[in-house]
Structure 1
Amino acid sequence: MSQQTPRAMTPEDITRIRWISDPQISPDGTRVAFVVTTLSAEKDEYVSHIWVVDTAGGEPRRFTNGPRRDTAPRWSPDGRFLAFLSERDPKKRAQLYVMPADGGEPVCLTDLKRGVSNPVWSPDGTRIAFLSKTGGWDEPEDEEEKKKSKPARVITVMKYKLNGEGFIHDRFSHLFVVPADGSAPPRQITDGEFHDSAPTWSPDGRSLAFVSARHEDRDYDNAADVFIVPAEGGEPRRLTDTAGPVAQPAFSPDGTQIAFLGHRYKNEAGRNMRVWTVPVTGGTPRCLTESLDRTCQPFFVGQGPEWSADGMYLTFAIEDRGDVPLYRVRADGTAPPEPIVTGNRQVTGFSLSRGGLLAFTATDPVNPNEVFVCHADGSGERQLTDLNRAWKQEVALSRPERFTYERAGYTLDCWVMKPFGFSPGRRYPALLNIHGGPATQYGHTFFDEFQVYAGAGYVVIFTNPRGSQGYGEAFCRAVIRDWGGCDYEDVMAGLECALRHCDFIDPERLGVMGGSYGGFLTSWIVGHTDRFKAACSERALNTHYSMFGTSDIGHSFPEMYSGGALPWEDLDWYIQHSPLTYAKHITTPLLIIHSEDDLRCPMEQAEQLFIHLKKMRKEVLFIRFPDENHEMSRSGRPRHRLERFRYILDWFAKHLQPEQVAARARAAVS
């Protein structure tokens, strides 16, 4: 029987992939629980279940069967139970459940109107701490009451809204504790007009550490602190010194130290988040990663350092030239950090067992996330899952080729992906992609968008210009006061690098695209060059001066990247570094995509650019997605994500592949 010829990846393939996340190894190291998410275009929703795989090998098996989303699996200390979050009632937000680890009926422990997040078992397995929001006005359930006017919102702080959540000025996240056997309702542990996060238990179970900003100037800076509060409730005690942002605290096994991520700079962009420890009795925090010029808080990992069971090491992830490896460092600071899980890939989550096994999820450009296990020093690595094996056999995926180029004393990376059906001797249109942030990175990860564009016949080019993470703090901070300067030059130099090395790129059929900061740079590029035949600017920052007062982070983000200048102090910077200022020079056909509930780069950013271009009778298409926020391309409704792909592919086909558009039209007529 002949083997089927692999086909091109299409937008619909995002509904065929099993997206794996959150690997949690059991305390005895025999099993790993993880989350598998699929997208349903038919139901227009995400469905997540918890799966389990044995570390000794064997087929993974589905553990939960909730109708919607089961997430956040957490083993009890004795390994007999799994706690998890589930949206079992379509009218309620995720609640906390506990289920025997060998199977059985889950028991619901909470019924909180605002839902539950971040479950953490107590060391003795009798209680579970979690976060839930309190306060705020609730939409009435009665239909007659819904018709009445809503109360006014009284705003006294700048940090009153958040993308993806809405208004947060009167809703505060706090710690709760509930008995694991369901014998009593949850009890609120912290309170006040503060947002608490990242709870973690002390080894003796008497207290909880968490992160919160409770200082007087919390509305004016990005600093936070690690606090400790009695597990029965009481006044939290501040442990750190409010020097800058902190995140993800973790008690040492002997309970004498707390490790956390942070840096000691208030309101400064592009700083490395480092690994620190501080005594639980208080004192000056000690940095363990000073010699490692990389951030220890990768954008897509979302967790902090983990202690080894003997308290000797801390394991953590970093961003490094397109990779996300795992490192570990001695907790006493006597040796520099060392890499333990490396390669041209990105680790997206990890956990440690008591016996020294390390479970992690990792992805590379042609492999979505799978689950792996190794020893705590990185040796003996084995892959435990291959849930997308059948799909990968069906689809032809493009592996990027890496090139380097020099700019201003830095070595930069550029990647090029060949299109589906590549044939030597032919020339192909190319799409230059620009990442968001700017303090993020492109690199060795499976990115569905790139594979879809390659599948549609495009060469895909991407690079990490100055301002990106993964190349050191100076590189990341090089764009401060220089948005549209060195970053623009680096991206254009990356394009030239690709053209030099790849004679199959047609220099007359180039497109450029990006989202968020990448949207900013796309809008900037087409206002400064007519090199591209078409462009797509998505969820872009187009005007610094209006973002300042309208974005959820507008009160601080432009200030940090302007070098500390406020609009009334240096309005020229805000105007000169805004793409809208140069819209009059745009001749490139431009597709503008934006979400109507975007609070990060508000809709007015897109509206202003669109109206400017229409007034000048330029070729522009404006696509607005209702009921979506800044994360639409990553986590929006499945039908919207598919629709977005269609608009992008149609736009670039019209301008870069007109012969294919004409051929499809002729075929439709015939």
Structure 2
Amino acid sequence: MKAFTLVCTSLAMAISGIAHGAEIDISHIQRLGPVIQLTATPLSKSAQADALRANLVTNLVAKLAVNVVEGSGLKKSNSIQVFNQQLTWQAASSTAEGEGWLAYQLPVSTHRFTQGTLTVKGLDNPQVYVNGQLVKSANEVSLNLTNGDYQVLVLADGLQKEVPFSLDWQGKSDVDQLDFTQQKSQRVSAQQLFDAKVINSLTLSPNGKYLLQSTIEYQASQGDTAIEVTELRKVSDNSVMYRWQDNRPSSAVWSGDSKQLAFVANKQIQLLNVAELTIQVVASDIDNVSGLHWYGDSVLFNWEKPFKADEKATSKRFRALEDRWSDWRNNSQIYQLDVASGFIRQLTDNKISSSFLDASVDNGTLLLTRSPVDYAQPAHGLTQLVELNLNALTETVIGQYRSFSSALYADDGMYITAGPRFMDGVGVQDKTIEVNDYDGQLYWRDGKGNVSALSKDFTPAIGSMTKLENDDVILTVTEGDRSPLYLFDKSKKRFSRIDTGVDMVDYFSVAIEPSTPTIVFAGTSATAPQKTFKMTLNSSGKQLLFDSQQQSYANTRFGDIQDFDFTNKHGHNIDGRVYLPADFDASKKYPALVYYYGGTSPVGRHFTGRWPFNLWAAQGYVVYVLQPNGATGYGQAFSGRHVNAWGKYSAEDIIEGTNAFLDAHDFVDPKRVGNMGASYGGFMTMYLATKTDIFAASMSHAGISNLSSYWGHGWWGYGYSGVASRGSFPWNNPELYVEQSPLYHADKITTPLLLIHGNADTNVPVGESHYMYTALKLLGKEVELVEFNGQNHHINTRQARFDWWDTTMAWFDLKLKDQPEWWNSLYPETTEQQ
């Protein structure tokens, strides 16, 4: 074991060769205090010591100045007032006058997973915190730090008179080195990306004056419990009018005159009077209510009755393939609440659930859908579009469709979103090519029932739609790897992109005013955190309402991002982008990670999410993200190559793209390239491992190894396969189900493979990873399987997400950086059977 000392000369780091504990140069440390104040007992002796110190540290961290380094000296630091005492962070070497509690801060940077012991000397009852989180109350504290930037804070009751203060660091081995140089900014952390406050709901009043806004954030002290807040804000000055944290409103909807807000809370339907800010309960003792919609002076809603299984039953007879869905036997119908009297009447009564789409007060009708069991044609599902006459409560089935998404009334007809094959393929651009049912299209159905395609020549894939008063519609679309908003002008039959200034629109709401409709939207870009803006359709000017950058990332640095497209051997342009490390040096050779989905949607330019490209780059990887053939948003021909292919085109593009990426970027080490994907991307990772040895290590999360088993067992397997394997089944196309299944080619795999799976995954059952793990173990191949207990298809809870990210990056550090320490600390070898 070798220890070291760091001494700051400009920004350089010098390492001593002594073999024992090394004292950290005190010039790197700042001190606050002693804080002289009358108190009944020292910090650590209080009856509420843990809470008292945790609260103190939280506030210190929040107010801690980011010191600016100029040359070899500190330029300035912040002052803090504690009761009536003015305190300043100052050099730890200065004389500490008086008695009282003290805090010491020390900047720490690592450039790999680092382990060691921090020894505190000369302090009474010290507590060591890293980035505001308590590590341990002790004089010797073990630290395990991943690649990143940290603030170490030590809190103590006071100084020991007989022992001078010092902080000593001793690494576990020669590689466990720390840099104590004060940084002007910090690399992004996993905690920032998960915990930062973001908007997760926006509902704008019709007149554009009021905004109902919900936020979500996390704090380490709250663990997996999210902090969720809903606020009613005045748009003109962004001031808060009303706030909910408990019993927050759901399914909120504005009345047409913007005077009332109807919502569900505490098993009630409530009305908020905006002028008086008073709440009236108009319906009580209701549960499982959703989808509120104003209809004149009444409110429509869906009310679900959960299926109650026989608790004494020892078996379950399946009624249909859909019975694998846990909520399929629940029944939801549409009800109407008369606000004035509080009377509720049931509008639909059917063995099949009824889902509300839209209402026309002028015509006295509702649009709704039902989904009867029908496997006659791919994708093995059917949607009935039904019109309900509200006066007579009679129903008319408008049509039954295989690729239907939604419908909205307009003055002389209705808009419909569906796949290209809708109405016998009226939306198919080229009858000679295969099309993808997930490539959303926009249609018009006139009053006589005639249907015309509006987006046949429009490349982006249509998502949701919102109708304006003049019958124009605002659309969410997938356009390449971006998700912008578009306006469809009905009179001109023209699509125009709305200049939001963000790559990905996460949420939006529209105030429908006759002349100048107003939009409020929240969105991100590849290296830009979430912002919320207000804008009008006839202007590119924007009013900033919320800025996650300012709140959570003001002192964070990110690497650059560059577009990297290439033309494949078939002449197709393959879209891609490259993330560079935060402290990129073109003279170095970097390991790289290649990420893709390969399924039916592109990998969007989200700032964060389950796949944190910015975090990987911050940890020293060049990251290449590409969009192989089969993805929507690039035209019908491009997305159609997803069908009955299961990796054929996608694998070619990924291999060809990786080679092009390596040829174009000489700062990437071609022998240290890893690849990964999830779900269909996890399938692609396993499939690629049977086709190429270009990758030095691979990770498959929740991947499919056997197409037949996923088709027959996964929650969405038969339906998704109805699109991805349209018309193909194990009995009529066994070649597809065998040849494209990685399991049947496991003997060809030479790449070390990490399999990660949630053992409660219903979408892709955990057996899919077990099949491949069993095969590779019997073949003597290098493979690891890590299950996440209780996790479904997505790893969503806070700590599990961190553990999942750590597992992934530790694997690639092991294989691509020759740094086994992180992986070994997470999953140490043992001779015992556990």
Q: Please classify the TM superposition score into its range, dividing by the shorter chain length.
A: 0.7 to 0.9
2:289 paired with 1:116: yes
The one-letter amino acid of 1:128's match is V
TM, length-normalised to structure 2: 0.70
2:414 maps to which of 234, 250, 258? 258
* Separation in structure 2 between the aligned mates of residue 338 and residue 386 of structure 1, nearest angstrom: 27
Residue 30 (structure 1) shift: 1.7
| Range with bigger deviation, 596-605 or 34-43 | 34-43
Aligned match of 1:272:
439
* Separation in structure 1 between the aligned mates of residue 817 and residue 468 of structure 2, nearest angstrom: 55
Contact 2:810 2:822 in 1 (8 A): no
Residue 523 (structure 1) shift: 0.8
The one-letter amino acid of 1:238's match is V
Aligned match of 2:706:
543
1:196 maps to which of 329, 351, 354? 354
Contact 1:48 1:70 in 2 (8 A): no
Contact 2:534 2:545 in 1 (8 A): yes
* Separation in structure 2 between the aligned mates of residue 425 and residue 500 of structure 1, nearest angstrom: 16
1:626 maps to which of 775, 789, 797? 789
Contact 1:32 1:52 in 2 (8 A): yes
Aligned match of 1:145:
none
1:352 maps to which of 510, 525, 535? 510
Contact 1:319 1:469 in 2 (8 A): yes
CA spacing shift, 1:391–1:271, aligned 2, 3 Å: closer
Aligned match of 1:292:
458
2:567 paired with 1:406: yes
Q: How does 1:567-578 map to 2 (within 5 A)?
A: 567-578=730-741
TM, length-normalised to structure 1: 0.86
2:385 maps to which of 218, 226, 245? 226
Contact 2:807 2:823 in 1 (8 A): no
Q: How does 1:152-167 map to 2 (within 5 A)?
A: 152-162=315-325, 166-167=326-327
Contact 1:49 1:70 in 2 (8 A): no
Q: 1:138-163, CA deviations, whole angstroms, 9 ceiling, x for partnerless residues?
A: 58xxxxxxxx644532322222233x
Instruction: Please give the root-mean-square deviation of Cα atoms over the aligned residues, in Å.
Output: 2.9
2:657 maps to which of 476, 486, 494? 494
2:647 paired with 1:476: no
* Separation in structure 1 between the aligned mates of residue 715 and residue 268 of structure 2, nearest angstrom: 27
2:583 paired with 1:417: no
1:445 maps to which of 598, 606, 611? 606
CA spacing shift, 1:660–1:132, aligned 2, 3 Å: same
2:195 paired with 1:16: yes
Describe the SS at the equivalent of 1:447: coil
Residue 609 (structure 1) shift: 1.1
CA spacing shift, 1:135–1:310, aligned 2, 3 Å: same
Aligned match of 2:534:
373
2:775 maps to which of 612, 617, 621? 612
Describe the SS at the equivalent of 1:296: strand
Aligned match of 1:668:
none
Q: How does 1:87-106 map to 2 (within 5 A)?
A: 96-101=269-274, 103-105=277-279
CA spacing shift, 1:50–1:283, aligned 2, 3 Å: same
Aligned match of 2:545:
384
Contact 2:436 2:642 in 1 (8 A): no
Q: 1:413-469, CA deviations, whole angstroms, 9 ceiling, x for partnerless residues?
A: 111101232223112211111126x11112432134112212222111101000111
CA spacing shift, 1:131–1:205, aligned 2, 3 Å: farther
Residue 572 (structure 1) shift: 1.6
* Separation in structure 1 between the aligned mates of residue 227 and residue 355 of structure 2, nearest angstrom: 26
* Separation in structure 1 between the aligned mates of residue 691 and residue 253 of structure 2, nearest angstrom: 51
Q: 1:341-376, CA deviations, whole angstroms, 9 ceiling, x for partnerless residues?
A: 365612223332232112222211123332222222
2:687 paired with 1:524: yes
Describe the SS at the equivalent of 1:621: strand
Residue 233 (structure 1) shift: 7.9
2:200 paired with 1:38: no
Describe the SS at the equivalent of 1:548: helix
CA spacing shift, 1:517–1:250, aligned 2, 3 Å: same
2:593 paired with 1:431: yes
CA spacing shift, 1:553–1:180, aligned 2, 3 Å: same
CA spacing shift, 1:520–1:205, aligned 2, 3 Å: same
2:314 paired with 1:314: no
CA spacing shift, 1:573–1:421, aligned 2, 3 Å: same
The one-letter amino acid of 2:565's match is T
The one-letter amino acid of 1:275's match is L
Residue 606 (structure 1) shift: 1.3
CA spacing shift, 1:557–1:295, aligned 2, 3 Å: same
Q: How does 1:20-99 map to 2 (within 5 A)?
A: 20-41=199-220, 42-56=222-236, 58-59=237-238, 61=240, 63-67=242-246, 70-86=249-265, 96-99=269-272
* Separation in structure 2 between the aligned mates of residue 96 and residue 579 of structure 1, nearest angstrom: 51
2:767 paired with 1:596: no
* Separation in structure 2 between the aligned mates of residue 183 and residue 156 of structure 1, nearest angstrom: 38
* Separation in structure 1 between the aligned mates of residue 284 and residue 769 of structure 2, nearest angstrom: 41
Describe the SS at the equivalent of 1:474: helix
The one-letter amino acid of 1:410's match is H
Q: 1:56-112, CA deviations, whole angstroms, 9 ceiling, x for partnerless residues?
A: 3x34548432337654432222212323444x5xxxxx7654333364457474544
Residue 521 (structure 1) shift: 0.5
Contact 1:542 1:606 in 2 (8 A): yes
Contact 2:559 2:584 in 1 (8 A): no
* Separation in structure 2 between the aligned mates of residue 151 and residue 100 of structure 1, nearest angstrom: 51
* Separation in structure 1 between the aligned mates of residue 623 and residue 392 of structure 2, nearest angstrom: 54
Structure 2 gap segments, 5+ residues each: 1-65, 69-182, 425-434, 826-834
Percentage of pairs with the same residue: 22
Describe the SS at the equivalent of 2:461: coil
Using CA pairs below 8 Å that are at least 6 residues apart, which structure has the higher relative contact order?
1
The one-letter amino acid of 1:420's match is A
| Range with bigger deviation, 403-412 or 174-183 | 174-183
The one-letter amino acid of 2:228's match is S
CA spacing shift, 1:238–1:415, aligned 2, 3 Å: same
Aligned match of 2:798:
638
CA spacing shift, 1:17–1:96, aligned 2, 3 Å: farther
* Separation in structure 2 between the aligned mates of residue 605 and residue 75 of structure 1, nearest angstrom: 46
CA spacing shift, 1:110–1:569, aligned 2, 3 Å: farther
Q: 1:291-341, CA deviations, whole angstroms, 9 ceiling, x for partnerless residues?
A: 2132101xxxxxx32222123x12212211212222222324x43322223
* Separation in structure 1 between the aligned mates of residue 374 and residue 436 of structure 2, nearest angstrom: 22
CA spacing shift, 1:214–1:556, aligned 2, 3 Å: closer
Residue 167 (structure 1) shift: 4.5
* Separation in structure 2 between the aligned mates of residue 556 and residue 663 of structure 1, nearest angstrom: 38
Residue 17 (structure 1) shift: 1.2
* Separation in structure 2 between the aligned mates of residue 216 and residue 53 of structure 1, nearest angstrom: 46
* Separation in structure 1 between the aligned mates of residue 345 and residue 783 of structure 2, nearest angstrom: 55
Contact 2:270 2:279 in 1 (8 A): no
Contact 2:254 2:260 in 1 (8 A): yes
Structure 1 gap segments, 5+ residues each: 89-93, 140-147, 298-303, 666-670
| Range with bigger deviation, 408-417 or 263-272 | 263-272
Contact 2:334 2:356 in 1 (8 A): no
Contact 2:603 2:627 in 1 (8 A): yes
Contact 1:520 1:541 in 2 (8 A): yes
Compare the two structures and name the one with the higher strand fraction.
2
Q: 1:388-424, CA deviations, whole angstroms, 9 ceiling, x for partnerless residues?
A: 4131213223342101110212111111101232223
Q: 1:569-619, CA deviations, whole angstroms, 9 ceiling, x for partnerless residues?
A: 111210000111122222222221112232221122111111112222333
Contact 2:644 2:728 in 1 (8 A): no
| Alignment size in residue pairs | 626
